[in-house]
Amino acid sequence: MRLPDHSPVSALPHHPLPALSLAALLAACAVQTGRPACQPRRVEAANVAARPVEQLYYGAPGAWGEDLLGGVEMAPGTARPVVLPGVGGYTLRAVWTDGRAIELRGLDPCRNSRIVMAEGGIRAD
């Protein structure tokens, strides 16, 4: 005589759909986003503005990550190397010491080797 199985797992109906949905979701996450990609790249960041740059970020708005300047201000008229991740299409954000910020959207670190921060905005060469 077989005793009934009262385990919670056997009480659930068996449907293959959740397993297939999970597999599809995982496959979609593995697909590239279509953004240009290369190795992390060292670029020159130049501050040609009349005020210091306090912070520099590269990422998605609201999820900036770490300060590329490492907490060290960039004085006016100076330049220094920074390393950008090798994924293009994100936004570069510079924050002045007075709290104002400028942004350059859609930067491609795979093609640009210099970033110039000026009073009116950021340019990538």
Sheet holding 79-84, edge to edge: 79-84, 41-47, 114-118, 121-124
As a whole number of angstroms, the distance between CA 123 and CA 46 comes to 10
Q: Please state whether the predicted TM-score (pTM) of the whole model is above 0.85.
A: no
What is the dotted CATH code of the domain comprising 41-124?
2.60.40.2890
Sorted by sequence, the CB contacts under 8 Å of residue 69 that are 6+ apart come out as 45, 53, 54, 55, 56, 80, 82
Residue 4: predicted pLDDT: 53
pLDDT tens digits, one per residue of 42-93: 999 999 999 999 999 999 998 998 999 999 999 999 999 999 988 888 999 9
Task: Give the strand pairing for 41-47 and 114-118.
Answer: parallel
Straight-line distance from the first to the last Cα atom of the chain, in angstroms, rounded to the nearest whole number? 80
Mean pLDDT in the chain? 80
* Highest mean pLDDT (candidates 12-16, 20-24, 112-116): 112-116
List the domain boundaries for the chain.
41-124
Residue 37: predicted pLDDT: 78
